[in-house]
A = this chain, B = another copy of it.
Amino acid sequence: MITRKEIQLIKRLAEKKQRRKEGLFVAEGPKVVADLMGAFRPAAIYATSEWTAQNGAANILTEEELRRASLLQHPQQVIALFHLPSPIDRLPTAADGLTIALDGVQDPGNMGTIIRIADWFGIDHIVCSQDTADAYNPKVVQATMGSLARVSISYTDLPEYLGKYDGDIYGTFLDGDDIYATELGQNGLVVMGNEGNGISAATASHIGRKLLIPNFHTSSDGADSLNVAIATAIACSEFKRRNYVKKT
The reply to whether B122 and A227 form a contact with Cβ atoms under 8 Å apart is no
**Stretch of A1-9, A59-67, A216-224 with 4 or more beta carbons under 8 angstroms from chain B:** A216-224
* Total residues of chain A contacting the partner, CB 8 A: 39
Minimum CB distance partner of A217 in chain B = B122
The reply to whether A116 and B223 form a contact with Cβ atoms under 8 Å apart is yes
The reply to whether A181 and B245 form a contact with Cβ atoms under 8 Å apart is yes
**A234 interface residue (CB < 8 Å to B):** yes
> Which residues of the other chain, B, contact A109 by a CB distance below 8 angstroms?
109
Known contacts A180-B241, A181-B245, A215-B122; is-contact A222 B150 (Cβ 8 Å): yes
Within 8 A of B (CB), among A213-248: 213-219, 221-223, 225-227, 229-230, 233-234, 237-238, 240-241, 244-245, 248
A selection of 18 A-B contacts at a CB cut-off of 8 Å is A109-B109, A113-B230, A117-B230, A120-B215, A120-B216, A120-B226, A122-B218, A122-B222, A124-B218, A145-B225, A146-B223, A150-B223, A216-B240, A216-B244, A230-B230, A233-B233, A237-B237, A238-B241
